[in-house]
Amino acid sequence: MRGRPNLFTSYEEEMRLFPTTTKRVMLVVALVLAVLLPLGQLPGLRFLGDSDWLIIIDRALIFGIAALGLNLLTGVSGQVSLGHSFFMAVGAYTAVVLGADAGRTVWGLGLPMWIWLPAAGIVAAVLGILVAPTAVRVRGLYLAFVTLGLVFIGLHLWRSVEAVAGKPGTGRPWPALELALWKGDPIISFASAGPWFGIELSAQAKSYFFFLFLLIVFALLAKNLMRTRPGRAWAAIRDRDIAAEVMGVNMFRWKTQAFAVSSFYAGVAGALFAAFLGRVIPESWDLLLAVEFIAIILIGGAGTITGTLLGTVFVVLTPRIVEAVTFWMAEELANQGTFAWLADLFIRKSPDDLLGFVSTDAAGPGLSIFQLNVVLFGVLIIVFLIAEPLGLYGIWIRVRNYWKGWPFTY
């Protein structure tokens, strides 16, 4: 059937994970590029191999895992959750209690990673199952408020239980990303630089490969879930829950499973995130983090794996780009370069500067870079929802369809 990629002669063929040749080729190309990236060998983008960029990209991989989880819950099964940061925190604190060493005031068992990483997911999933009955009972917007409440209750818990979370404002150290059989020396360490197969790699590059592997596993799992029975049940619930129930979809069972799977993803991602940063304060698991994931799936395109991954890259990398642009503008203004007039409109130079609203100095007046990013998130959520509800994925679909029909417009 060469030359006719959309002709499927059997149902199994159509439902394959990567049904067309194009998709398979693109997957291989993406994998090759992903392996070249941390080695600093990506043509034209060699700087991405620098460790400060790799830290951001590692973060994107972790966020990708969590976003895939939220996508299954919100995008596929239509259950609005503002509590994703809560489940991430549950995973992170499970990891630290199991994996870190006990301190004078904090608990810790010092177990190896192959125990604490899956456990982080499982404990989060159990909590997800505990929340699920509420989700079955309350619907739609009321559920959004329940999950919003989880974030605030969680924040209070993490601030109060110092034996688990450490002191408010300082937190406690997380176990390193090292694979050991038991409490001895690690067999593979993702947290220290060293050679792998004769190639010298930084710690960030090593954790990059580890996170990439996990992300691929989780993405394939999610894709598989979406095309098989659970995914169809979830989609049926999303599209019309009462119709789904009439058709024999067990609401309680599938909603609970959606919460469990989504929380598992969040728990693993939370544990990885905290372990990668090394130290997290209890206040970081806030509403802003949860909204960041909402932004990811809305900007990327709710209900699709590709869209979620695109959205993650977009949302995580934007702050870094905004930072770079802001500093470039400040420099341009200082040197009176070609674009000084443009920078003049953005950068705040004195307290009574009316036009400029961005400040490179965090303490002074004017939006700091962090604040600018938060505002940008908000604006992006609004703009995408109004202008392109299908997100980046929708834009990609339109581009693809244009070339499919070329030279015709339809």
Q: Is the dihedral of CA 229, 235, 238, 244 positive or negative?
A: negative
168 vs 186, beta carbon nearer another protein: 168
Q: Residue 119 Cβ, how far from another protein at the closest point, in Å? A: 25
**Residue 389 touches another protein, criterion: CB under 8 A:** yes
63 vs 116, beta carbon nearer another protein: 63
CB atoms within 10 A of CB 382: 11
- Alpha carbon dihedral 127, 133, 138, 143, in 10-degree steps, equals 10
Contacting residue, 39, 146, 191, 395, with another protein by CB under 8 A: 146
Binding segment (CB under 8 A) for another protein, from list 9-17, 87-95, 151-159, 325-333: 151-159
Q: How far apart are CA 364 and CA 376, in angstroms?
A: 20
| C-alpha angle 10-14-17 in degrees, rounded to nearest 5 | 135
Of residues 378, 100, 131, the one with CA closest to residue 266: 131
Contacting residue, 16, 24, 45, 142, with another protein by CB under 8 A: 142
**Residue 367 touches another protein, criterion: CB under 8 A:** yes
Binding segment (CB under 8 A) for another protein, from list 113-121, 261-269, 288-296, 393-401: 288-296
175 vs 356, beta carbon nearer another protein: 356
Give per-residue burial for 68-88: e unless 16+ CB within 10 Å, then b: bbbbbbbbbbbbbbbbbbbbb
Query: Please, which of residues 75-94 interact with another protein by CB under 8 A?
Result: 80, 82
111 vs 295, beta carbon nearer another protein: 295
Of residues 10, 70, 16, 97, the one with CA closest to residue 312: 70
26 vs 375, beta carbon nearer another protein: 375
**Residue 251 touches another protein, criterion: CB under 8 A:** no
Q: Residue 289 Cβ, how far from another protein at the closest point, in Å? A: 12
Contacting residue, 137, 229, 398, 404, with another protein by CB under 8 A: 137
SS3 169: coil
Q: Residue 185 Cβ, how far from another protein at the closest point, in Å? A: 39
Binding segment (CB under 8 A) for another protein, from list 45-53, 60-68, 138-146, 265-273: 138-146
**Residue 229 touches another protein, criterion: CB under 8 A:** no
Of residues 182, 183, 201, 179, the one with CA closest to residue 192: 201
Rounded to 10°, the helix 203-227/229-239 angle is: 70
DSSP string, 259-277: HHHHHHHHHHHHHHHHHHH
**Residue 36 touches another protein, criterion: CB under 8 A:** no
Amino acid at 231: G
Looking up tokens 């469990």, which residue turns up? 260
**Residue 328 touches another protein, criterion: CB under 8 A:** no
**Residue 354 touches another protein, criterion: CB under 8 A:** no
User: In Å, what is the CA distance from 156 to each residue of 153, 165, 168, 271?
Assistant: 5, 11, 10, 19
Residues 6 or more apart whose Cβ sits within 8 Å of residue 76: 226, 231, 234, 235, 238, 258, 303
**Residue 298 touches another protein, criterion: CB under 8 A:** yes
Number of residues that bind another protein (CB under 8 A): 46
- Where on the chain is the footprint of another protein (CB under 8 A)? 80, 82, 134, 137-142, 144-146, 148-149, 152-153, 156-157, 159-161, 240, 242-243, 246, 288, 291, 294-295, 298, 365-368, 371, 374-375, 377-382, 385-386, 389
